[in-house]
Amino acid sequence: MAHGPSESFFSRWLFSTNHKDIGTLYLWFSFAMFLLGGAFAMVIRAELFQPGMQLIEPEFFNQMTTMHGLVMVFGAIMPAFVGLANWMIPMMIGAPDMALPRMNNLSFWILPFAFAILVATLFMEGGGPNFGWTFYAPLSTTYAPDTVNYFIFGVHIMGASSIMGSINIIATVINMRAPGMTYMKMPLFVWTWVITAFLLVAVMPVLAGAVTMMLMDINFGTSFFDAAGGGDPVLFQHVFWFFGHPEVYIIILPAFGVVSQIIPTFSRKPLFGYSSMVYATASIAFLSFIVWAHHMFTVGMPIAGELYFMYATMLIAVPTGVKVFNWVTTMYKGALTFETPMLFSIAFVILFTFGGFTGMMLSIAAADTQYHDTYFVVAHFHYVMVAGAVFSGTAAVYYWLPKWCGRMYDETMGKVQFWIAFIAFNITFMPQHFLGLAGMPRRYADYGLQFADWNMVSSVGAFMYGGAQLLFLFNVIRTIGWGKPIDDPKVWEGAEGLEWTLPTPAPFHTFSTPPVLK
């Protein structure tokens, strides 16, 4: 256990078995992918700034919408939370490291290869994936470019990475807790992550199955998604969303965990309703397996199916509501201060709840006939993905960065970034609700003149939001290099938990000897 970080830069970062270094790799990789996916979004918004085609070809526009979704979901958000899990779970449960440190590094290093393959397809003959991030058959089979095969195998190894990473997290949480760290004493971030890991192990193989069926249909003459042979293109959607709905909770549950750590700290009160939070998280995870077809209300389902999936979906509002009320009640009568992580967390609660309400609108099968595949859906899931997952990820970095590197970030710059991001986010996505309700379809490179004004507003907001991310990057680099040194183990006055008993900056090895909890 005596070994410290390797002297050589390359061997330290390439051959690591240290949960903190691997967490750092995950976080930087995810931020690089966030900028790449963001660049794709900027191309999309630049083209949609005005009606008509000005900058790019429609074929390339399709590749941009597809790659934006894939890179953001699989390359930016998921690895960001895995990076946070790597850093924080061993510190929070009193473990020396992750349970399987070498496999941990393998899980990470698969990702750069997977995304290199995926991005390389953009430069190949036929172009990259152009069928939307949901890659519905037959667009992704019969009508796909040849490069879809690279996409398929890229998804396979990415899935292997996720499964190994999740198994590692589950093994760590079950096996590595310090004496006295019972399940119901675990910080909520650990709870949400272990449930997320369970979801990943359960549904990533289903995604692998879906892309395997595509591969067989494209190259080996099977007819999973071809009615001529007795299959059904809608089968693809069922399989995809059986993966895809738990997938969106895989993205949001760790975000819930982060916010549940931050709000008590800056309210200087323990989290309200801890056990109800745990049960609500588990209920959401369970429900995520039985609601998938609410993404498919317009494909032609028997009325019994429509009704079942509609009511089951509405049930999710109950545990989610429990969470929102708990966060609000935690703040109630607390001694609140509004540092940057807290600002992002409060914005999370407000905007995520807003996104939840539009989700309730979409869950009404009859009304969804109007909203389906319009910008209303785009607005809805960006409220939960960006104001949900990305805001909480940003909050997490501001919250834990001083602990990680022993230096304080610039609070003013953080607050400026927050307000630009908050305002720009709403300028970007609020108008997309109106566009969608007025009937503008998603994933189109051009639109009718009646949609011109709100599209222009949305594009302006998107560029502002992109700029705020550069400020974030600058603030993080400045903190790591030149931030004001701090050595208070607690960093934040109201912070509670094992991770804050470690020295600041956190030592290379976490708990070589497990701490004892009362």
Partner 1 sequence: MSTEGSYYVPEQSKLPLAAALGMGVMAFGAGSWVIEGGTSTVFLIGAVIMAMVMYKWWSIVIEENTQGIVSDQLKHSYVLGMYWFIFSELMFFVCFFGSLFYVRVLVGPWIGGEAAIGLFDDTATDAAIANATHLWNGYDATWPPLVTPDQAVNGDVAKFIGPQESMSFPGWSQILGWLPLWNTIVLISSSGTVHIAHHALKEGNRKKFNRWLGFTVLLGIIFLFLQAEEYIHAYQELGLTLESGIYGTTFFLLTGFHGAHVTLGTIMLLIAFLRGLKGHFNEADHFGFEAAAWYWHFVDVIWIGLFIIVYVLG
Which residue lies nearer to partner 1 by CB, 96 or 273? 96
Instruction: Give the ranges where 220-339 is alpha helix by DSSP (H).
Output: 233-267, 274-288, 303-315, 317-331
Closest by CA to 290, choosing from 254, 249, 322, 251, is: 249
Give min distance, CB of 91 to partner 1, in A. 14
Report how far apart, in Å, the C-alpha atoms of 406 and of each of 94, 372, 502, 504, 505 are: 20, 48, 12, 5, 4
Which residue lies nearer to partner 1 by CB, 305 or 489? 305
Instruction: Give the ranges where 48-187 is alpha helix by DSSP (H).
Output: 58-70, 78-93, 101-120, 148-175
Which residue lies nearer to partner 1 by CB, 303 or 449? 303
Which residue lies nearer to partner 1 by CB, 142 or 412? 142
Closest by CA to 239, choosing from 150, 320, 140, is: 140
User: Does the annotation count 161 as an active-site position?
Assistant: yes
User: Does the annotation count 294 as an active-site position?
Assistant: yes
Give min distance, CB of 411 to partner 1, in A. 36
User: Does the annotation count 140 as an active-site position?
Assistant: no
- Please pick, among 121, 141, 162, 394, the residue that the annotation labels catalytic: 162
CA distance 381 to 44: 17
Any residues with CB less than 8 A from the CB of 127 and at least 6 apart, and which?
A: 59, 60, 63, 121, 145, 147
Report how far apart, in Å, the C-alpha atoms of 135 and of each of 138, 207, 287 are: 9, 11, 24
Give min distance, CB of 480 to partner 1, in A. 22
Give min distance, CB of 141 to partner 1, in A. 13
CA distance 31 to 39: 12
Which residue lies nearer to partner 1 by CB, 191 or 391? 191
Amino acid sitting at position 161: S
Any residues with CB less than 8 A from the CB of 210 and at least 6 apart, and which?
A: 236, 239, 240, 243
Which residue lies nearer to partner 1 by CB, 412 or 512? 512
DSSP H/E element including 485: strand 484-485
The token duo for 326 is 């708990």
Amino acid sitting at position 455: N
Give min distance, CB of 280 to partner 1, in A. 24
371-385: burial string, b at 16+ Cβ within 10 Å, e else = bbebbbbbbbbbbbb
Which residue lies nearer to partner 1 by CB, 59 or 146? 146
Give min distance, CB of 105 to partner 1, in A. 4
- Please pick, among 24, 196, 320, 340, the residue that the annotation labels catalytic: 320
User: Does the annotation count 295 as an active-site position?
Assistant: yes
Give min distance, CB of 124 to partner 1, in A. 10
DSSP H/E element including 484: strand 484-485
CA distance 515 to 89: 14
CA distance 150 to 43: 23
- How many Cβ atoms are within 10 Å of 62's Cβ, its own excluded? 20
Give min distance, CB of 83 to partner 1, in A. 16
- Please pick, among 26, 87, 249, 447, the residue that the annotation labels catalytic: 249
- Please pick, among 24, 107, 147, 260, the residue that the annotation labels catalytic: 260
- Please pick, among 68, 380, 382, 403, the residue that the annotation labels catalytic: 68
Amino acid sitting at position 314: M
Which residue lies nearer to partner 1 by CB, 230 or 481? 230
- Please pick, among 217, 247, 306, 499, the residue that the annotation labels catalytic: 247
Axis-axis angle for helices 188-219, 274-288 (nearest 10): 10
User: Does the annotation count 509 as an active-site position?
Assistant: no
Give the CA angle between residues 92, 268, 81 to the nearest 5°. 35
- Please pick, among 20, 269, 295, 382, the residue that the annotation labels catalytic: 295
User: Does the annotation count 492 as an active-site position?
Assistant: no
Give min distance, CB of 167 to partner 1, in A. 5
User: Does the annotation count 260 as an active-site position?
Assistant: yes
Which residue lies nearer to partner 1 by CB, 204 or 349? 204
CA distance 250 to 203: 10
User: Does the annotation count 323 as an active-site position?
Assistant: yes
Report how far apart, in Å, the C-alpha atoms of 444 and of each of 142, 270, 438, 447 are: 20, 47, 15, 7
- Please pick, among 415, 442, 478, 509, the residue that the annotation labels catalytic: 442
- Please pick, among 66, 141, 147, 161, the residue that the annotation labels catalytic: 161
Just list the catalytic residues: 68, 97, 133, 161-162, 245, 247, 249, 260, 294-295, 320, 323, 442
